[in-house]
Amino acid sequence: MREQLHAQAPAKLILSGEHAVLYGCPALATSIDLPTQVTLTLDSTQPAGLTLDLIDFTRHYSFSWHDVLARGAILQQRYRAFQQGQLTIDQLLTRPSDLVILVLSHGAISPLIQQQACSIQIRSQAWLGRGLGSSAACLLALLAVWRNAQRPNVSDDLTLAVLIEQAQHLENWQHGRSSGLDPSIIALGGAGRFERATGLTALPSWPLSAWLIDTGAPHSSTGECVSDVARRYDTQAAIWPEFKQVTELMQQAWLAQDLNALKLQLNHNHQLLRQLGVVPSALDAPIAQLQQLGGVKLCGAGSIAGDAGGVLLYLGDTPPDAICQTQGWRAQPIQLGSAGLTWTKLAANGAIK
């Protein structure tokens, strides 16, 4: 017997609140239509074991179920060592396949599954290493298909809330301590306001066309940027109320569907990020050109070194192609507020059950 399950999860952008959310300020986030797709196939007629295809990395792996459980035990041991200060976060998941192994081995694997061949394919349109939530999207899509495969008769109990909670827990292996923002906005889709104390509050849908611009991989890690900001700004610094005010005004613009006001607050938010020192100076001139055409801001932690800062969000009537071509940047039209996590179970003939 052969059955197939498929799940898809969007990417995400933070509209306002990078860094500031760590100082008690709210953040606004939205899903974007750069999906991560996971397909899981179970086949009882083939030799038991796991095959894994990471399409974007052109990596293919084959494991016995014993290998999966053994590697999973190692990952659990590493996390305990990390919690005790014996390992750093980058020493936990050291192979491209580890995130998948973590999901599959986190909890018992049913005897029925271990008697079958399991094939998993993962592909993503999200730009990797740019703060678009690709690890959370992968975790959610994997959890959806794997939990359905493990519990075929009680899949109705598999709610988004359960998947968000599980994804947030497993994200700790990737980020140390997950705030829950990425799994929440990616699973639910649309836009939302996030606060560390209360989690995500959904905002009304406002599908917007925008552009995502890649200035290049940041030369600094998120941790390095966070540490540098903390060194120069304490919790009582005057800049944090300014961030909070921008977020409040941006939320008002979103609720009113006032595009001009939203552009204005994107530009204001970007200026505050410049004050924090996480926008490389090489980006100032081209971003100023883009701001003459619409609203633009750096999204993500930014960088405190080098000339690249990650991705920009641009909202404007004029495409940014000319400026991006001059800079050697790639730009891609995107849709804000895209649908959240979805999953389906396919029968042997490919029909949706």
Domain with 173 in it: what CATH number? 3.30.230.10
Check whether residue 40 and residue 84 sit in a common domain: yes
Q: Which residue has the higher pLDDT, 2 or 26?
A: 26
Check whether residue 47 and residue 196 sit in a common domain: yes
Residue 67's CB: how many other CB atoms inside 10 A?
14
In a domain, residue 350? The reply is: no
Q: Please tell me the pTM assigned to this model.
A: 0.89
Q: Where are the alpha helices (DSSP H) in 10-97?
A: 65-83
Which range scores top for mean pLDDT: 24-28, 66-70, 147-151? 66-70
Residue 292's CB: how many other CB atoms inside 10 A?
10
SS3 of 327, please?
helix
Confidence of residue 245 (pLDDT cuts 50, 70, 90): very high
Give the mean model confidence (pLDDT) for residues 64-79.
97
Rounded to a whole number of angstroms, the distance between the first and last alpha carbons of the chain is 15
pLDDT at 277 (0 to 100):
95
CA distance 67 to 282: 48
Check whether residue 163 and residue 291 sit in a common domain: no
- How much is the mean pLDDT over the chain? 92
Which structural domain range is residue 319 located in? Answer: 209-336
Q: pLDDT tens across 108-148, in order?
A: 899 999 999 999 999 999 988 888 999 999 999 999 999 99
Confidence of residue 349 (pLDDT cuts 50, 70, 90): very low
Give the mean model confidence (pLDDT) for residues 201-208.
89
In contact, 138 and 99? CB cutoff 8 Å: yes
In a domain, residue 71? The reply is: yes
Confidence of residue 264 (pLDDT cuts 50, 70, 90): very high
- Check pLDDT > 80 for residue 345: no
Q: pLDDT tens across 7-60, in order?
A: 999 999 999 998 998 898 999 999 999 999 999 999 999 999 999 999 999 999
Supply the DSSP symbol for 109.
Answer: P
Of 136, 170, 201, which residue constitutes the final position of a domain? Answer: 201
Phi first, then psi: what are they for 113, rounded to 5°?
-65, -40
In contact, 164 and 147? CB cutoff 8 Å: no
The type of residue at 19 is H
H/E stretch holding 111 reads helix 111-114
Please state, for a pLDDT cut of 90, what percent of the chain lies above it.
Answer: 76
Number of domains comprising the chain: 2
CA distance 224 to 227: 5
The half-sphere exposure of 287 on its side-chain side, counting CA atoms within 13 A, is: 29
CA distance 164 to 139: 9
Confidence of residue 351 (pLDDT cuts 50, 70, 90): very low
- Check pLDDT > 50 for residue 307: yes
Of 148, 170, 201, which residue constitutes the final position of a domain? Answer: 201
Phi first, then psi: what are they for 142, rounded to 5°?
-60, -45
In contact, 55 and 121? CB cutoff 8 Å: yes
In contact, 47 and 117? CB cutoff 8 Å: yes
